[in-house]
Amino acid sequence: MGSEAQAADMFKCPVCNGNVKTGPDDVVITCTYCGSTTTIDGKEIGDHLMEPAVDENTRLQAFQKFLDKNKGFNKSLVKAAQVVENRLIYVPVWTSRVKADTWYKGYKTVQVPVQRTETYRDSEGNTQTRTVTEYETGYVPVQDEIHTDTDEPLLARKGAALYGLEEYLDSIDLKSTIKYDYSRIKDLSPEMLNAEIGQDEYEKTVHGRVADRHRAQAASGLTELFDCRTTTNVRGTTYLQAPFSLIRYKFQGELYKCALNGRTGKVVLGEIPITMAQRAIWTLLGMLGVVLSGVGGEILYYGLGLDDGIAFMAGGGLAAFLGIAMAFFGFRVLLMTQREKKG
């Protein structure tokens, strides 16, 4: 029974005969021994793309630079941060060029001026007439087209469970890709994520995504959209393996995360600790804000009772505003365990 469960989680590479661990939804497998990429049925993925990756030290230096930039009052953060994990993960992405053409009909409402003549009596009791302009709702038919030709990368996984992965996907640059060559990254010991979405499913998904985008664009300027048809031409579909890096580090006994672009080594999103000393400083700032806003309110109220109290009102209003802002940010930091910063 145990051997059957183990076999269900293993894939035998058709190129090197190595046993590769797989997940239940994997449909495209990259061998962690020889780097060959094949479908779950053993069909080889031909020419596909990859982004090269920087080494572990380069990623570590970029991470330390990120901490130094965002340390704030915490001067010891860079030296005291203890890196416990520095992973390089190649994530699978399908990408293609999608030409989309949409034809749509609808209507939008406009205010149409309508003039009418009315009779009235003037101050002397004489009957007079005048023209009055009123506005009524009118309906204008709209018939238009939308045409786009865009790159459409899509993560070939059914969920982006890794911290910062969604932000990383936005930083992928298709112009930086090269022909897939596992030998160029093998020494970096990358973790290769398999695809859970195949090419056919990707092309159906990307058609729906582009069609929904066009429909939203068409509907944005209309009162009602009642006919919208989109045709797509998906071409040049290719499999892309892109380097994502995840660093975990300890500081004062707590664990924090940082996501990096594995190609450039730059941080895309990271957690910055907030120490007890920082919380104390921000709490004090918040309390001062409460006092300042109270004093400012009193001055403002006093100025309202004076004939020439503009200066009092302006000064009191400014003090109250600054006090409220100080109180808000001060007590907000008090409730936070860490800050999140983009690289």
| DSSP conformation letters of 208-224 | HHHHHHHHHHHHTT-SE
299 or 202, which is more confident:
202
Residue 336 has pLDDT above 70, yes or no: no
pLDDT of residue 1: 32
199-229: pLDDT as tens digits = 999 999 999 999 999 999 999 989 999 999 9
**Last residue within a domain, chosen from 9, 27, 45:** 45
Instruction: Name the one residue in this structure whose structure tokens are 């300027």.
Output: 221
The larger pLDDT score, comparing residue 331 to residue 27, is at 27
State the CB neighbour count (10 A cutoff) for residue 223.
Answer: 14
Cβ atoms of 50 and 93 closer than 8 Å: no
The predicted structure's pLDDT at residue 54:
96
Residue 314 lies in a domain: yes
pLDDT beyond 60 at 2: no
The reply to whether 11 falls in a domain is yes
Q: At 324, give phi and psi (nearest 5°).
A: -65, -40
3-state SS of the chain: helix, strand, coil percent to 5?
A: 35, 40, 25
Mean pLDDT of 84-104: 96
Segments forming the whole domain that contains residue 307: 277-342
Inside any domain, residue 71: no
Q: What is the 3-state secondary structure (H, E, C) of 234-292?
A: EEEEEEEEEEEEEEEEEECCEEEEEEEECCCCCEEEEEEECCHHHHHHHHHHHHHHHHH
Query: Residue 341 pLDDT > 50, yes or no?
Result: yes
CA distance 166 to 342: 12
pLDDT at 329 over 80: no
Q: How does pLDDT run across 139-152, given as a tens digit for each residue?
A: 899 999 999 999 99
Confirm whether 160 is domain-assigned. no
In a domain, 303, yes or no: yes
What's the rounded mean pLDDT across residues 101-111?
Answer: 93
Q: Is the pTM of this model over 0.85?
A: no
List pLDDT tens digits, range 154-182. Answer: 999 987 789 999 999 888 888 899 999 99
**9: closest CA among 27, 1, 21, 25?**
21
Q: How many domains does the chain have?
A: 2
* Among the ranges given (1-15, 23-37, 100-114, 175-189), the one the predictor scored with the smallest mean pLDDT: 1-15
Q: For residue 202, tell me if it sits in a domain.
A: no
pLDDT tens, position by position, 239-278: 999 999 999 999 988 899 999 999 999 999 999 987 666 6
- H or E segment and range at residue 132: strand 127-151
pLDDT above 70 covers a percentage of the chain that reads 92
Does the residue 329 lie in any domain?
A: yes
| Residue 4, pLDDT above cutoff 80 | no
Orientation angle between helical segments 310-335 and 276-304, nearest 10 degrees? 160
- pLDDT > 70? residue 85: yes
pLDDT-derived band at 6 (thresholds 50, 70, 90) equals very low
Q: What is the per-residue pLDDT for 3?
A: 37
- pLDDT given for residue 126 in this prediction: 84
Within a domain: 81: no
- How far apart, in whole angstroms, are the C-alpha atoms of residue 257 and residue 252? 14
Identify which has the larger pLDDT, 66 or 47: 66
What does pLDDT average to over the chain? 87
3-class secondary structure, 190: coil
Write the CB contacts of 315 (distance below 8 Å, at least 6 apart in sequence).
296, 299, 303
Q: Can you read off the two tokens belonging to residue 314?
A: 């302006």
The pLDDT, as a whole number, for residue 47 is: 84
pLDDT value of position 333: 60
Q: How confident is the model at residue 327 (pLDDT cuts 50, 70, 90)?
A: confident
